[in-house]
Structure 1
Amino acid sequence: MYQEDNISLNKSDLEEFFIHHLNKIYAAKTLLVSELPELFDSVYFSDLREGILDTIEEVKKQISRMDEIYDILDISYIDANPNGLKGLIEDSFQDIKQHSENPELRDMSILFYLHNIESIEMASFQILEMLAVKLRINKIKQLIQDNYEDAKASRTLLLLINAKYISTV
């Protein structure tokens, strides 16, 4: 039997959900900042090297904005669950390292995984932005929206680099 949807979430449940998923993205972003410089030294394709540098700088800005969100909410980041996006990133870096002997495949793997990671982060930021609207926290909404725009720009850049890379292979 079909029943009319009547969704009822209280503000504290929404805040808890928001914080839990903000923590997941924060964990992923901090892992990216620590791992990407290691990849940079082994990248073969010069455009990808520039893309990685750009991504590192954008991720640092995103982390700074998330730090500001934690300050606004008067909470601290908690790394409660190593799975999720952080686990995907860890798996991605392991797969990339499997191609360490083949620079072309390693670069293709880097592009593949970075593009996928940015896509997932964009979707996550969109949902968090909607929650911030529902929670009526305009400053947080703007910070999340800025992170979404950065992730979108990084994804577009990686897509362009990937297209150029594939055309030169």
Structure 2
Amino acid sequence: MPPISEQTPEDVKFENVHLKRIFLEHLNSIYFGKKHLIDFFEEIKELASLAYLKEAVQECYEATQKQLAQLDSIYSAINETPSKTTVLGIKAMTLEAYLSAIKTGKTAMERDVFIVFYVQIIEGIEITYFDVLRNLAKAIGYSNTFINKPFNLAVKNKLVFEAIYKAYITEPA
């Protein structure tokens, strides 16, 4: 079905109520995605073989708990409460990561590489969610600085796992 008109993004104007609803939907998605990740990080920490990977996953677990607390304060600041939503994308990604890591015949190193690969993808998704939340918050007049802490934690975690991944796949000189 062809578009009704040839509008540009500049032509589309959202009402504040719609932006708030979109913001809240995104906030709920990242919130319940984070709740799911708590269990995921506990599971993959047990699968990881190297001590520093286990430590990095533990740090990610702790950062996720901090981010949940920060998200709780965001809900309080905007006088809202979390509203349960499905997070099928994150659940599918974590299931794929888990199945890839436990696939029979993988060495411990191969498992670790798959764990790190998938955690990087998950952190990238989180960074995108927080960036969208910052932009939406600014558009509806909320301070977007309260999203900076969870955003910065997600960026830090992604960089940690990128460094671990590079260490795994780089051949010694």
Q: TM-score, normalised by structure 2?
A: 0.86
Partner Cα separation in structure 2 for residue 116 and residue 87 of structure 1: 12
Match of 2:89 in 1: 84
Structure 1 consecutive aligned stretches of length 4 or more whose deviation exceeds 4 Å = 1-4
Match of 2:28 in 1: 23
User: Displacement of 1:34 after TM fit?
Assistant: 1.6
Matches within 5 A, 1:127-166: 127-138=132-143, 141-166=144-169
Identity of aligned residues (%): 23
**Structure 2 counterpart SS, 1:54:** helix
Partner Cα separation in structure 2 for residue 131 and residue 23 of structure 1: 14
Structure 2 counterpart of 1:95, from 92, 97, 100: 100
Number of aligned positions between the proteins: 167
Structure number, greater radius of gyration:
2
2:44 is aligned with 1:39: yes
**Structure 2 counterpart SS, 1:48:** helix
User: Displacement of 1:79 after TM fit?
Assistant: 2.3
Partner Cα separation in structure 1 for residue 14 and residue 162 of structure 2: 38
Deviations 1:21-66 (A, max 9, x none): 1111112211111221222123112221121111111111111111
Identify if the C-alpha distance between structure 1 residues 28 and 6 changes in structure 2 by more than 3 Å, giving closer, same or farther: same
2:116·2:165 contact (CA, 8 Å) conserved in 1? Answer: yes
Deviations 1:113-154 (A, max 9, x none): 00011011111111110111111111xx22211111110010
- Mark the runs of 5 or more structure 1 residues left unpaired by the alignment: none
- Mark the runs of 5 or more structure 2 residues left unpaired by the alignment: none
Q: TM-score, normalised by structure 1?
A: 0.88
User: Displacement of 1:3 after TM fit?
Assistant: 4.5
Moved more, 54-63 or 30-39: 30-39
User: Displacement of 1:76 after TM fit?
Assistant: 2.0
2:48·2:108 contact (CA, 8 Å) conserved in 1? Answer: yes
